[in-house]
Structure 1
Amino acid sequence: MNPNMSNTKSTPPEGKWSTGICGCFEDVTNCCVTLWCPCITFGRTAEIVDKGKTSCFGATRNCFLLFSLFGIGSSIYSCTYRAKLRALYSLPPKPCGDCCVHHFCFCCALCQEYRELKNRGLDPEGGWVAAEANAKKLRGRTTAPPVPSPGMTR
């Protein structure tokens, strides 16, 4: 291993998505959760994007009710959080506008947003408090230079 290389994962640059919309299998566990219970993934992501102002439970419930009652309502509700996430990290509206992505690729969009937060050090699964603590820890981490091994002694 190169001593100049750090083994810490770097944070993706602002202005660029860290994964593509079709990268669902990069996190198989989240892919399965999103496939069967997309409102849970949405709730976790919404709590992080809103910095704890919206609870995971509240966002999950709202998404589920809109999906159950109106079908398309959940994609309109969830696209607003994609817009907030994009604004937070200056991300481009790719592959198309937020509402189109959520309407036509609902699960893929939720998976991408979840991975984006996770790749930026904010794991949505633990909630806002845990994600904020982890982000602070990552910001405070410094890499120490390697310690030279002592020469041979008798």
Structure 2
Amino acid sequence: MGRVMEVKGKPQADGEWSTGFCGCCSDCSSCCLTCWCPCITVGRIAEIVDQGSSSCCATGAVYMLSMYTVFGSACISCKYRTKMRKQYNLKGSECGDYLKHFFCELCALTQTYRELTKRGFDVPLGWDGNVARHNAGVAMGAPVVEGGMRR
């Protein structure tokens, strides 16, 4: 399907996260979702960050399977935090991202989810849903002229 790459979310100051690392209380719904079903949170984040090239279901399933390994789930979720951080020029490092995901996976996931939300994404809609919402007011194609052309 035609993916529009212009959807980037609302701009924030480069370098600054919109919420703190332990700001879970500010968004109870994403906190509860992440606590009970982190695979869904990771899948949704991946789909937005990868601009639709990753499937929410596939990434979530891989994450769920990797939870049975020692470092697997942290590696997968950290990948998307790092990618999003680079897309928006947010402060941090790959090592810091990994340590956050390894020692406090739920806080790291909810912060990433909140960041996408603060930047204007309706994360549960996925990439295609956000593109459609963004382009809803844009007319596509040439205008229709009734009655043909006349002099």
Q: TM-score, normalised by structure 1?
A: 0.76
User: Which has the bigger relative contact order, CA under 8 A and spacing at least 6?
Assistant: 2
Establish whether residue 116 from structure 1 lines up as the match of residue 99 from structure 2. Answer: no
How far residue 137 of structure 1 moved from its aligned partner, in angstroms, is 6.4
Change (3 A) 1:28 1:127: same
Counterpart position of 1:5: none
Equivalences for 1:63-78 in 2 at 5 Å? Answer: 63-68=63-68, 70-78=69-77
Deviations 1:87-131 (A, max 9, x none): 10000117x711001001100000000000011011211111112
The answer as to whether partners of 1:121 and 1:135 remain within 8 angstroms in 2 is: no
What secondary structure is seen at the aligned counterpart in 2 of 1:132?
A: helix
Q: Which whole-Å CA distance do the structure 2 matches of 1:80 and 1:97 have between them? A: 12
Q: Which whole-Å CA distance do the structure 2 matches of 1:112 and 1:26 have between them? A: 10
Counterpart position of 2:16: 16
Q: Which whole-Å CA distance do the structure 1 matches of 2:42 and 2:14 have between them? A: 22
User: Which runs of 5 or more residues in structure 2 are unaligned?
Assistant: 1-9, 139-151
Change (3 A) 1:22 1:135: farther
Percent identical residues? 46
Counterpart position of 1:32: 32
Counterpart position of 2:49: 49
Deviations 1:34-68 (A, max 9, x none): 00111110110010000000010011001001003
The answer as to whether partners of 1:11 and 1:119 remain within 8 angstroms in 2 is: no
Deviations 1:7-31 (A, max 9, x none): xxx7432321000110011110110
Establish whether residue 89 from structure 1 lines up as the match of residue 88 from structure 2. Answer: yes
Counterpart position of 2:145: none
Establish whether residue 125 from structure 1 lines up as the match of residue 124 from structure 2. Answer: yes
CA RMSD, aligned part only? 2.0
Q: TM-score, normalised by structure 2?
A: 0.78
Q: Which whole-Å CA distance do the structure 2 matches of 1:44 and 1:79 have between them? A: 14
Aligned residues: 128
Q: Which whole-Å CA distance do the structure 1 matches of 2:134 and 2:118 have between them? A: 11
